[in-house]
Structure formats: C-alpha cells, structure tokens
Structure 1
Amino acid sequence: MRQPAMNDILKLFSLSGRRALITGSGRGIGLALARGLAGAGAAVVINDRNEQKATAVAAQLRDEGLVADISIFDVTQREEVSAAINKVEERIGSIDILVNNAGIQRRAPLDTFPADDWNDLLRVNLDGVFHVSQAVARHMLPRGRGKIINLCSVQGELARPGIAPYAATKGAIRMLTKGMCAEWASRGIQANALAPGYFATDLNRALVDDPDFSDWLCKRTPTGRWGRVEELCGAAVFLASAASDFVNGQTLFVDGGLTSVV
C-alpha cells in the first residue's frame, strides 16, 4: 500500500474553494475562527446583529488578503435566520461549513438566577444553534455534504458555581451535536463540537481581571495559563476540512488539559 505523500496530507486540511459561515464573528473567538478558516483558504461569511461591525470586520479581513462577506441576522429570530441563509445561498454561494459560535454568558447563584437571564441563555446559546443549523442543513442535505461545528465549552463537561444555566446550554449543545450526527451523517454531513477551555475574551473579562481566579485557573490547568483565541484555529480547520471526514458527533476539547486532570 502506497504511503501518502506529505503534500497529499496537507491537501486534506485545505479549505480552498469552500465557504464558511461563522455566527457571532464580529469579535472574540468567532472572529479568530473566521480568520483561521480564511487563512486555510475558505471564503468566510461574517455574521453579527450589527451591520456596521460586521462590515468593518469583513473589510479588515479583506485588507489582510482574505475573502470575506457579511450576513446580518439575529440567531434567535427563526424567520430572520431562514431568510438570511437563503440570501447567502442565492447571492454569495453555497455554505459548505457552518460554525455556530454566537453565545452569551450570565452569572448568578442558581437559587436566585433571574428567569429572564435563563431564557436569554436558552434563546441564544441553544435555540440559536438549532435555528441556524436547521436552516443551513436544508441546503447542505440535498448536496450530500457539509461540515457543522458547534461551539461548546469545558462547562459542557464540568460545572462551576454561578454559571449552572450556561453549563446546561453547553451540555445540551453536546447532545444536539450527537443528534445531528445520528440524523445527518448518512447524508454526508459531519457535525462536531469544539469545546474551548478558558480563553481570554470579552465574554469572560471579569474572570480575566480577577487575580484570584486567574491564579486558581493557572494552577488548575496543566499548561498553567489562559488560552489564546488563535489556538482554537487548528482544531477548527481540522473539523472543517476533509481531514475529519470520518469524525462525527464528537466534542474536541481545546482546554490546555483542564478536563483531563483532577
């Protein structure tokens, strides 16, 4: 049996000729993933609720020599999502890769957690993934191919005081990812979850700025530090590329070893 040449292996990771939609990619992890996928050859579609922000981000990526368009919609609005996805497919081109990144965080003790915050978490973190995935899959399935990457979290595996509802949404995303695999794998779609550990982003700025928490985290994480958002890109490219064509329904933790130790 002929051993694959290095060039053959590298081609498996190329995203040239593919288009990726990344929800909530106006900043933070979403923007880092958009830049990473574009760097691997994909044409990316930046999504945000704010058109001005999305336009500025797409222009920045184009200035870097990357291919970027925009799609403005709120992931919680089902009809808006459907219309926007149809518009991308018709006017920009087929969506080959979907990254469900849009998400929010709310912190409070569970016994006093506000019902409105609970509902907001469910609407954005879980309903949003369902709405966008369903709308995109309706185009992927007839083509018999597609990659879906759902942003999960170490909190989909481990609980911590103050964020139980957030953890519940991420645990649900892990199971929704398995469900996508169960229903769509035989029809050419690979659906997997990417689970970041603790990364220094605006979403957890309060924790980054807390010396006691940062000290605890660095001692708790085998690599001894916060993650950098660009360190998620390799895993995302893998899950978006042909290199992962037989990987389905899995959650890939990028957490510096946090979930591997006690």
Structure 2
Amino acid sequence: MYLPDFRLDNKLAVITGGTKGIGKAITLAFAESGSDVIIIARNEKDLQQTKGEVEALGRKAFTICHDINEYPQIKSEVEKVREGRSLDVWVNNAGMNIRSEAEHVTEEEWDQIISTNMRSAFFLSQYAGTVMKEAGKGKIINISSVGGHTALRTGVVYAMTKSALIQMTKNLALEWGKYNINVNAIGPWYFPTALTEKLLLDKEYVQAILERTPLNRIGKLEELSGAAVFLASDAGNYMTGQTLFVDGGMTIYGF
C-alpha cells in the first residue's frame, strides 16, 4: 500500500483545552477519524457538550475537569480513565495570552502565561512520554503559534512560550525518538477562537493581518485539524521534531 493510513481507529488521544476553538476542532477531528478521546478543560458544561458531540460520531469520550496548571491531578485522572489502555496521542493545546506591551508586563502576568503555556506542557509531556516509552510508541503534538517563529506586535511573553514549545518539540523528539515516540508541533496563524475573537472584530487589525497573509483570509478551524490528524496517524510516522505552520503563508512575510 503506497498511501499511508490517515485513520486513528481505536486509538486513545488526550487533548488539553479540548472544548473550544482549536482544541475542540482537533477533538472532533480525532473522533471522526476513529479515536476515543480524553478531553481536559475547566468548564464542566463545555466538557459535557463536547463529550456529546464526540459520542454522536460513534466514539468514546472521557472528561477531566481541571485547570491545566493542576497537572499532578490531571496525570492521576488520566491514569484512572485510561485503565491500562495505551496512550497513543497527547495534544498540548491549552494556552492563554495577555496582550500587554513589554514595558507593561507584570510579574503576575509573566507567571500565569509561563505556567499555563509552557510549564504545564512540559510536565504533561513528561508524563505522556513516560507512558509511551513503556508502550514503545506514541505521538505528542504541541500547539505553538506563528508567534513562536516571528515577531508579533504585542504579547511578548506569549510569543516566548510558543517559541519555547517549538524548541521543546525538537529536544523531546531527539531524546525520545529511540522509543518510537514522535514529537511535533503545529503553528497556527489567525483562526476564530476565544483568544482572537475581539481582535477579529477590529476591521483595521484584520486588514493588517490579511495584507501579510498570501491566501488573504482568516483560517477555518477544520483546515487546522487535518494537520493534527496527519501528525497523529501512521501517515506521520516518519515525521518528528517539526513544526507545521498552518498560516495561509504568513510566515513568508513576518508581522
């Protein structure tokens, strides 16, 4: 067979921040591709809504209601939920941004963004990698950003964390390749999410975005989830340490 398998049948995937925006799109795409999912988020109502949508696609959904910074509790809950099943895919999607200009960043903002976007992603990857090492296989996907690759107007701490995720992806791929663990990242540009909602209402800001996007439009969430399915599936088995920029060509220019 010359065409690799893009299916995720009977796999078990964990998606942090899996009830909204990019995370929800990936959750539903994984379910549509045949995977059961463990969804981690803070809002129980959103979890149950997404769980229902996954089950409507014919797959199992398990929910864990915790803030991403509560990763010791998250690890414990994942262990209970998976009940010895292999942990095939882990997606570090949960994140936040505070768009302060550099001279106005407070220590509280710094700590909050670093902990949410970077610290939790590392220690949850550490857990996932340990489980996957025992199984001799696994896929870890980090949701970075074009802001981790090129400069943005504001949000310097956010950009730093997303750059760190790209470097973490490379290092973990190098360390864990011998265990057949693939570690990759996705770098989105602008998609309709809670983090971009207000910005996308600003016509002048949107126009500035479009001027630096060769495809001249904002992305659709379903156009991002395909990259995650590829990296999680057997089709992505020989890809590791890479960041796929799903950006309409934006990184050609910078911003």
Bucket of the pairwise TM-score, normalised by the shorter protein: over 0.9
Q: Which residue of 2 aligns with 1:130?
A: 122
Paired with 1:148 and 1:223, the residues of 2 have a C-alpha distance of: 29
Confirm or deny: 8 A CA contact 2:62 2:81 kept in the other structure: no
Whether 1:187 and 2:189 are equivalent positions in the alignment is no
For residues 101-159 of structure 1, the C-alpha deviation after alignment (integer angstroms, 9 at most, x for no partner) is 00001011101112111111001000110121112222111110000000000001111
Q: Which residue of 2 aligns with 1:210?
A: 202
> Shift of the alpha carbon at 1:78?
3.4
> Shift of the alpha carbon at 1:35?
0.6
Paired with 2:64 and 2:128, the residues of 1 have a C-alpha distance of: 13
Confirm or deny: 8 A CA contact 1:105 1:121 kept in the other structure: yes
Q: Which residue of 1 aligns with 2:78?
A: 85
Q: TM-score, normalised by structure 1?
A: 0.93
Q: Which residue of 2 aligns with 1:174?
A: 166
Q: Which residue of 1 aligns with 2:56?
A: 63
> Shift of the alpha carbon at 1:162?
1.6
Whether 1:241 and 2:233 are equivalent positions in the alignment is yes
Which of 56, 69, 75 aligns to 1:76? It is 69
Paired with 2:103 and 2:235, the residues of 1 have a C-alpha distance of: 45
1:205 alignment partner, SS class: coil
Paired with 1:169 and 1:261, the residues of 2 have a C-alpha distance of: 21
Q: Which residue of 1 aligns with 2:192?
A: 200
**Runs of 5+ unmatched residues, structure 1:** none
1:202 alignment partner, SS class: coil
> Shift of the alpha carbon at 1:63?
2.4
For residues 41-70 of structure 1, the C-alpha deviation after alignment (integer angstroms, 9 at most, x for no partner) is 111111112233212210122124343221
Paired with 2:66 and 2:44, the residues of 1 have a C-alpha distance of: 9
Confirm or deny: 8 A CA contact 2:64 2:74 kept in the other structure: no
> Shift of the alpha carbon at 1:73?
2.6
1:238 alignment partner, SS class: helix
Paired with 2:63 and 2:194, the residues of 1 have a C-alpha distance of: 22
Which of 239, 248, 251 aligns to 1:256? It is 248
Q: Name which of structure 1's ranges 220-229 and 58-67 shifts more when overlaid on structure 2.
A: 58-67
> Shift of the alpha carbon at 1:94?
2.5
Confirm or deny: 8 A CA contact 1:75 1:132 kept in the other structure: no
Q: Name which of structure 1's ranges 206-215 and 60-69 shifts more when overlaid on structure 2.
A: 60-69
> Shift of the alpha carbon at 1:190?
0.1
Paired with 1:65 and 1:81, the residues of 2 have a C-alpha distance of: 25
Percent of pairs identical after alignment? 37
For residues 147-180 of structure 1, the C-alpha deviation after alignment (integer angstroms, 9 at most, x for no partner) is 0000000001111122111000000000111111
Aligned length: 254
Paired with 1:203 and 1:175, the residues of 2 have a C-alpha distance of: 23
Paired with 2:86 and 2:143, the residues of 1 have a C-alpha distance of: 21
AA aligned opposite 1:178: K
Q: Name which of structure 1's ranges 243-252 and 60-69 shifts more when overlaid on structure 2.
A: 60-69
Q: Which residue of 1 aligns with 2:21?
A: 28
AA aligned opposite 1:27: K
More helix by share: 1
